[in-house]
Amino acid sequence: MTMVDEATHALTPAQARARFRAGVSAPTSGWAAGYTQTNLIAVRRDWAYDVLMFCQRNEQPCPVLDVSEPGDPSTKLAAGADLRSDLPRYRIWENGELRAEVTDATPYWSDDLVAFSIGCSFTFETALAAEGIPLRHVEQGRNVAMYTTTRKCRPAGRLHGPMVVSMRYIPAGRVDDAIRITAEMPAVHGAPVHVGDPGALGISDLGKPDFGEPARPEPGDVPVFWACGVTPQAALMASKPPFAITHAPGHMLITDRRDDEYRVGRQ
């Protein structure tokens, strides 16, 4: 991955989506700064209620921002967007197994797929950066590190699985600020679920994330963990529905919604 440059940072959401539709594939952290990003999970109609109930019971890792009609690849979050092609990378799942990773999911889309757009922690990164909190993965040009934990989500219907978290190294003196800022954005995962010892989440090695890439800490940094929208993918692996399409971790839909729309008291 190449580091996000100022031109990419300044793109409008429509410009960013057009690049992805044309085949550009890159993690979206830092792209179109100030605009909300979302995770994707699309399942066949007969599994949609299970996903909706799973998200309702596990709101912190799975905050739902939009749900499509069966077969409809559009979303109210982005005018003219196509959920089949406007994310930079997709994953195709069959019976809980990853079958393909593609830049265009159109050939895999069907009339019975229901798409869920789920809040993403990249949304609150603009707010963190605006208050001078460094983002090591952005500085180092890396996808954010994500880890499967030993914390179990509340089951729903046929879906069950562990919580996935994203981790950012935060200077010790700014941890309270990071908690305050992200707590104001519950629709995009909210406050951290854990600060400090990764072993408390069952994570044995921060240098070996399950998804994304490891970042290098600076002296005095503390690992801070947020609930992550990759959690439904962990549920797919555990529950094995016959078919699903998701975003590839770190490769989100960039919507037309401003980040501040999801910041409590800042609308």
Task: Write the CATH number for 203.
Answer: 3.30.2040.10
Task: Give the closest residue to 239 by CA, choosing from 148, 156, 116.
Answer: 156
Element (H, E) at 237: helix 231-239
Q: Assess if residue 178 is contained within a domain.
A: yes
Q: Are residues 110 and 38 in the same domain?
A: yes
168 pairs with which residues across the strands? 224
Q: Assess if residue 232 is contained within a domain.
A: no
Cβ atoms 43, 113 nearer than 8 A: yes
Q: Are residues 130 and 115 in the same domain?
A: no
- Ordered per-residue pLDDT tens for the chain, 267 residues: 334 566 788 899 999 999 999 999 999 988 998 899 999 999 999 999 999 999 999 999 999 999 999 999 999 999 999 999 999 999 999 999 999 999 999 999 999 999 999 999 888 898 899 999 999 998 998 999 999 999 999 999 999 999 999 999 999 999 999 999 999 999 899 999 999 999 999 999 999 999 999 999 999 999 999 999 999 999 999 999 999 999 999 999 999 999 888 888 654
Q: Are residues 65 and 133 in the same domain?
A: no
The residues, any chain, with a CB within 8 Å of residue 130's CB and separated by 6 or more, are none
Q: Are residues 57 and 83 in the same domain?
A: yes
Task: Give the closest residue to 170 by CA, choosing from 141, 198, 201, 136.
Answer: 136
Tell me, what's the pLDDT at 109? 98
Residue 31: CB atoms within 10 Å: 24
- For 82-105, give one letter per residue: b (16+ CB within 10 A) or e: bbbbbbbbbbbbeebeeeeebbbb
Tell me, what's the pLDDT at 267? 47
Q: What is the distance between the alpha carbons of residues 147 and 235, in angstroms, rounded to a whole number? A: 14
Q: Assess if residue 116 is contained within a domain.
A: yes
* CATH (domain of 63): 3.40.1640.10
Tell me, what's the pLDDT at 265? 61
CA R_g for the chain? 17
HSE-CB of 139 using CA atoms within 13 angstroms? 13
Q: Assess if residue 73 is contained within a domain.
A: yes
Cβ atoms 229, 118 nearer than 8 A: yes
Q: Assess if residue 17 is contained within a domain.
A: yes
Domain that holds residue 45: 6-121+240-262
The pTM of the full predicted model, rounded to 2 decimals, is: 0.90
- For 178-217, give one letter per residue: b (16+ CB within 10 A) or e: beebbebbbbbbbbbbbbeebeebebeeeeebbbbbbbee
Q: What is the distance between the alpha carbons of residues 219 and 241, in angstroms, rounded to a whole number? A: 44
Give the orientation angle of helix 175-183 with respect to helix 122-130, to 10 degrees: 130
Q: Are residues 176 and 253 in the same domain?
A: no
- Binning the chain into helix, strand and coil, the percentages to the nearest 5 are 30, 30, 45
Q: Specify the number of domains making up the chain.
A: 2
Q: Are residues 244 and 115 in the same domain?
A: yes
Tell me, what's the pLDDT at 5? 64
Tokens of 17: 């989506």
